[in-house]
Amino acid sequence: MCIVAVVDNSLTLLGLLSVEPSYGYDLKHTYDRFFGVRKPLAFGQVYASLARMTRDGQILSLADEAGGGPDRKKYEVTEVGRTRVSQWMFTPDIPSETLQSNLFAKTIIALLVDDNADRLLDVQRTEHLARMRELTREKQGADLMRVLLCDHALFHIEADLRWIDLTGARLTQLRNEIKLP
Amino acid sequence: MTALIQARGLRKFFGTTDALRGIDLDIQRGEVVAVMGPSGSGKSSLLHCLAGVLLPDSGTVSVGGTVITALSEARRSALRLKEFGFVFQFGQLLPDLTAVDNVTIPLLLGGMKRRQALTAARGWLDRLGLEVAADQLPGELSGGEAQRVAIARALVTQPSVLFADEPTGSLDSLAAENVLTAMLELVRKAGTTLVMITHDPRTAAYADREIIVRDGQLAATDRVGVK
Ligand SMILES: Nc1ncnc2c1ncn2[C@@H]1O[C@H](COP(=O)(O)OP(=O)(O)OP(=O)(O)O)[C@@H](O)[C@H]1O
Ligand SMILES: [Mg+2]
């Protein structure tokens, strides 16, 4: 069983394409290197995503290489695609009690495209703290059962926040380690 | 509405360390603000500048319309005594004085008669649930009790702003929660403005909003809206 919750595959692929143009085959391997350690992406999924992104005008395929088969197409992100990636990166995820793997993907992509990873973590921190404030308010005057449930949620969201803080402190190191070959 | 505390272009150097690198900040009257950020990012330096304990190398701080960065040391210290309260992580109570005597200190410094000061001090200790500990020495108090005494001492002058630097930093979860809720109840009731540094998100969750200091600057947390 895979413990990593939903990563938005398509957006992550689009994010990787906004680092540099890539063949479908290479794209899959780059994806797996960062996000597919437990569960590599199927080629079929990669090509389905590429087709959808092409249809939506987020990427376009560069001229076919001479003698290349159907998968010998190089894809490049469009302006529409770049805007979509930026929106995705800087829109915070809903604080939940599960591992924020989407946040992990956004952080890696932000570093790869040299965007402001600090800021995306700040945006997420704000969202998490806002949720913690709601839960803290809910505790006031609530019965003890309710208080205990809120405490549980608070501690889980806090765990995410601690990850956000630590990742923020490690961004420089992370940036150096993930440089694409 | 003009903000109670207005900081503009705050810069502070310690030797070659750039502790504050241009901070603009407004805090409204009655607001409860959590100050967060990594260790060494400049939180305490910012708090000390806002409270007039430290003078910035450039920039201004005004509180209630008074530009405190333009005041003499003597006038700043008089203003601190009258308008501000301070709570720190630990080591703030005088060990040879009882809890209640510790709480009277700012009142006595302000020229109040001892008898009157003792009555006021006991009142604040009661409000923080410490009536039984009033005559104990700090060494006989638990960490949570000692923090309440420190809070009583900070609030006894009815300051317009309470500055707190990791007020629950040395307490366990439940003690921290009890100290915080007691402090927040009093602060909210009195309409006191609270500026509180904390590493702890659960503590920050009691505030109306948080500001994040990173490398001597405030982090921008505005969202990128979907067009
Ligand atoms: N009195 C001082 N003399 C020299 N350097 C100082 C002094 N006070 C602070 N600094 C430096 O200024 C920077 C900011 O320090 P500050 O104490 O404001 O950080 P902080 O965010 O409160 O950290 P912490 O969370 O660890 O308390 C640090 O690099 C610190 O070493
Ligand atoms: Mg500090």
pLDDT digits (tens, 9 = 90+) for B185-227: 999 999 999 999 999 999 999 999 999 999 999 987 644 433 2
Residue nearest to atom 24 of ligand 1 (CA): B39
pLDDT beyond 60 at B140? yes
Residue nearest to atom 4 of ligand 1 (CA): B14
Domains recognised in chain B with CATH numbers: 31-42+72-212 (3.40.50.300)
- In the block, tokens 């990593």 appear at A4
Q: How confident is the model at residue A2 (pLDDT cuts 50, 70, 90)?
A: very low
With beta carbons less than 8 A apart as the criterion, state whether B59 and B8 touch: yes
pLDDT at position B12: 97
Token pair of A142, please? 């609530």
Domain range A1-90, CATH class: mainly alpha
- In the block, tokens 């992509």 appear at A109
Which residue of A91, A125, A135 is in closest CB contact with B224? A91
Give the ligand at the shortest distance from the Cα of B41: 1
**Chain B residues with CB within 8 Å of chain A CB:** 38, 181, 201-202, 204-207, 210, 212, 214, 219-224, 226
pLDDT beyond 60 at A6? no
Report the pLDDT averaged over residues A7-33. Answer: 90
Q: Tell me the per-residue pLDDT of A95-132, one tens digit each, with 9 for 90 and over.
A: 876 656 788 889 999 999 888 898 899 889 999 999 99
Q: How confident is the model at residue B101 (pLDDT cuts 50, 70, 90)?
A: very high
pLDDT at position A54: 94
pLDDT at position B223: 46
For a ligand 1 pocket test, name from B35, B39, B41, B50 the mutation site with the most ligand atoms within 8 angstroms of its C-beta.
B41
Rounded distance between C-alpha atoms, residue A37 and residue A43, angstroms: 15
Token pair of A50, please? 């590429």
Q: Which span out of A106-120, B99-113, B169-183 was modeled with the highest average pLDDT? A: B99-113
Separation in Å, CA of A41 to nearest CA in chain B: 29
Residue nearest to atom 17 of ligand 1 (CA): B44
User: Sign (positive/negative) of CA torsion B90, B5, B28, A116?
Assistant: negative
Q: Which amino acid is at A124?
A: Q
Q: Which residues in chain A have Cβ-Cβ distances shorter than 8 Å to B207?
A: 133
In a mutagenesis test of the B interface, which of A150, A165, A172 is the best target, namely the one with the most B β-carbons within 10 Å? A165
Residue B186 is given by DSSP the state H
pLDDT at position B75: 95
- More confident position, A35 or B10: B10
Extract the runs of DSSP E, i.e. beta strands, from B88-151: none
- Distant-in-sequence, close-in-space partners of B34: CB < 8 Å, separation ≥ 6: B196, B197, B198, B203, B204, B206, B207, B209, B210, B211
Q: How confident is the model at residue A69 (pLDDT cuts 50, 70, 90)?
A: low
Q: Which amino acid is at B176?
A: A
With beta carbons less than 8 A apart as the criterion, state whether A161 and A92 touch: no
**For all residues of chain B together, what is the average pLDDT?**
93
With beta carbons less than 8 A apart as the criterion, state whether A57 and A14 touch: no
Identify the three-state secondary structure at position B66: strand
**For all residues of chain A together, what is the average pLDDT?**
86
User: If you measure CA to CA, which chain A residue comes closest to B205?
Assistant: A133
Report the pLDDT averaged over residues B85-97. Answer: 90
Q: Can you name the residues that pair with B17 across neighbouring β-strands?
A: B14
B17 C-alpha to center of ligand 1: Å?
Answer: 9
Half-sphere exposure of B67 (CA within 13 A, CB side): 7
B165 C-alpha to center of ligand 1: Å?
Answer: 13
Q: Would you tell me how many other CB atoms lie within 10 Å of the CB of residue B9?
A: 12
pLDDT beyond 70 at B3? yes
